[in-house]
Structure 1
Amino acid sequence: MRRVRYESTGGPLFLEDAPVPEPGPGELLVHCEAIGVTLPVVRKVTEAPEPIPLGGEIAGRVVAVGAGVTRFRTGDRVTGLCFGHGYAEYALLHEAMASPIPGAATATDAVALVRSGLVALGALEAARPGPGEAALVTAAASGVGHLAVQLARTRGAARVVGAVSGPGKADFVRSLGADDVVVYREEEWGEPVDYVLDAVGGDLLGPAVAALAPGGRLVAYSSGGGTIQAYDLLVGAKSVIGFQMARIARGAPELYERWRHELWRLFQEGAVKPAVHGEFALEEAAEAHAAIESRINRGKVVLHP
C-alpha cells in the first residue's frame, strides 16, 4: 500500500510503499476513503523533535478485525481518530475510537464532521451556554471553527461572532450563520460576548478575554499555548476553562458516544453542514498541509487515497 511519511522535522512529506498492517486486539483495519488533515498534526510535523506517524481522522470500510472486536465487522463503514499511520490507503483504527457512518453520508462528510464536530461540541458544552447568550468563535473558518459557529446557534445563541485571520473569510463565516465577523488585528471586537471558544491561543488570548462581558467564559482548546494575566480575569469576574477532547474520549466514553449521535442527528436534520475547503490526492499531502499552515482554508482539508 501507499502511505505518506517524513524523516526529519519540517518534512518534506513523501509517499512510500509499506505493507498493509495487521489488526491487533481491539483494532479495525480500514480501507481509507477520506483522511482529515488537522492543525495539531501539521504542527507536529514542523515542531516535533522526532518524526511521528501522520495520524488523524479517517473514514472508510472495514476490511479486517482483530481479536476481541464486538461492535464492527468486515464491510462496515466507519470513521474515527487514528493514532498511527493514517495518511495511507489502509490504516488501523481502535474500536473504541470508531463510529459507524450513516448510510446517506459520504466518507468526506464523516471526516469533516465527526472529529472536528466533537471538539467543537465539547468546547461548547464546556462553556455552559445559556439561551439568548452571545458567542464568539476564533478560527471561525477552520475545520473545527466553522462547525462551532453553527453549533452555537443550535445551543440557543442569540448572537454569534466569528473571528478570522483576514477579511477574505468574512463572507464564508457569515454564510454559516454568523451575525458578525471580526479580524484578529482589529483593536475592538464589537459588543462584548458571554463566551468565547478559542482555537488559536498565543497572542490572541488577550483580545479574546477582552471581548468577554463581565462574568464571561473563555474555553481554550488550542495547542498554541499563550498566557493570560490574572488581573484581566479578576476585574471582570471572568473565567478560563481548558478543554481537551482526548480526556473525554478516554474518561467519559458514554458522553463521547452521545455527542457523536447528536452530531449525526444535527447533520441529518440539516442544522449542521460541514464544509470542505479542498480535497487532495495522497501524493498532494504537502499541499494539503500548506493550506492549513497558510490559513487559507475555509472548512475542512481532506486527503483521498
Structure 2
Amino acid sequence: MKAIARDRYGPADVLDLRDIDTPSIGEDEVLVKVRAAGVDPGVWILMTGRPMAVRLAVGLRRPKVAVLGRDVAGVVAAVGAGVTRLRPGDEVFGTCGSGSFAEYATARQHRLAPKPANLTFVQAAATPISAVTALQSVRDARVQPGQRVLVTGAAGGVGSFAVQLLKVYGARVTGVCSTSKIELVRSIGAEDVIDYTQHEIDRGGAQYDIIIDTAGSRPLPLLRRALTPHGTIALVGGGHAKGWLLGGFQRQMAAPLLSLFGGQRVCGVTARERYEDLEELTPLIESGSVTPVIDRTYALADAPDAIRYLAQGHPAGKVVVTV
C-alpha cells in the first residue's frame, strides 16, 4: 500500500511517499481503508520527536511507527476475532495506531465509532482528536449555562469545536483570534470576539468565569488577570511554548499545584481517546449544532506540505489529507 513514512525524526523533509506492507490486525483491532486523515499538532510533535519527552513513548533514537497520522475516517476492511462493535463495510471515524497517512490503517475498536451520517469523510477525519479534546475541556472546566467563557485560539482545530460546544452548553462565548478570522469565529457562535492583534484578553478586567486556553501562547498571569476570582482556566496542549524537554506541557503538569494558590482553579486537559465521546458528539453533529471547520485539504502525496502549513500556526479550522 502507499503511505507517507519516515525512518528518523526531523522536519517534513524526512517524509516520503513509499510502498509498504498493509498492517496486520490483532484480536481487538480493526483494519480501516482510509479515505481521509486529519492533521493536528500531535503529527508535528511525532514527526520531529520534540519535545524530547515524547520519545520515551514513541522511540528514543528513531520512531517506532514509521507512518504518521492519528485522526482517521474510512471504511472497515477487516476486523479481529475479538471485535464486536464493528464489521466490514462500516463507515467509521476515530484515531488509529499504525498511522493514517496511508491507504490502510489499524485501530483498536474502542477508538472508533460509526461516522456521523451527514459528514463527508474529510469532515469526519477533521473531528476526532480536536472535537474530543474540546468536549473534554468543556467538561473538565465544569461549564454551566450562562457563564462567560473565553476561548483562545478560537479559530483553530480545538478552539472552533470548543466555541460550538460551549454554545450547546448555554455559555456566553468570547473568542480570541486574528483580524482575518473574526467573521468565522462569530459565525460558529461567539457572542464577542477579541482581535489579539489589537487588544489583549484582560482589556475588560477580571470578567470571565472560565478560560479555555487552546493557543498556549499567553502567560498564566495574563490569563488569571482576565479571570474572575473563583474562575477556572483549562490549559489545552503545550501550544507554542518553548522547551526542548517538555515543550510547554509543564503548565499542564503543574496545574494541580497552581490551583492551591488563590481561589482560581487551573486544570490541565489531556484528551482521552474513547468511542463513547465520539458517540456523544455524533447527535450534536447530525443536528447541525456542531460542524467541523475545514481550512484546506491535501492529497496523500502532499501530506508533507499539509504539515508545513499547519506548523505555520494559523489554519482556520482543520487541515485534512485525502486518500
Check whether TM > 0.5: yes
Q: Are residues 1:61 and 2:75 paired?
A: yes
Structure 2 runs not aligned, ≥5 long: 53-61, 240-247
CA shift for structure 1 position 266: 1.0
Equivalent residue runs for 1:129-148 within 5 Å: 129-148=143-162
Cross-structure match for 1:4: 4
Query: Do the aligned residues in 2 keep the contact of 1:23 with 1:65 (CA within 8 Å)?
Result: yes
For 1:1-305, list aligned pairs within 5 A: 1-6=1-6, 7-12=8-13, 13-48=15-50, 50-51=62-63, 52=65, 53-157=67-171, 159-164=172-177, 166-184=178-196, 186-191=199-204, 192-201=207-216, 203-224=218-239, 225=248, 227=251, 234-235=261-262, 237-246=263-272, 249=273, 257=276, 259-305=277-323
CA drift of 1:188 comes to: 4.3
1:167 CA drift (Å): 1.8
Distance 2:157 2:81 in 1: 34
Once the 2 structures are TM-superposed, how far is the Cα of residue 37 of structure 1 from its aligned partner?
A: 0.5
- Contact 1:40-1:223 within 8 A present in 2 as well: no
Write the deviation string for residues 257-282 of structure 1: whole angstroms up to 9, x where unpaired.
1x323311111111111111111101
Runs (4+) of structure 1 moved beyond 4 Å?
Answer: 226-233
Q: How does the TM-score come out when normalised to structure 1? A: 0.88
Say which is worse superposed, 116-125 or 195-204, in terms of deviation: 195-204
SS at match of 2:157: coil
Stretch moving more, 88-97 or 102-111:
102-111
Instruction: Report the count of equivalent residues.
Output: 294
8 Å CA contact retained: 1:209, 1:232? no
Identity %: 36
**Superimposed CA distance per residue, residues 24-71 of structure 1 (whole angstroms, 9 cap, x where no aligned partner):** 211111110010111112123234363354131101001111221111
State the AA in 1 paired with 2:181. Answer: K
Query: Structure 1: which 5+ runs fail to align?
Result: none
1:187 aligned partner, one-letter code: E
Partner secondary structure for residue 290 of structure 1: helix
Change (3 A) 1:245 1:78: same
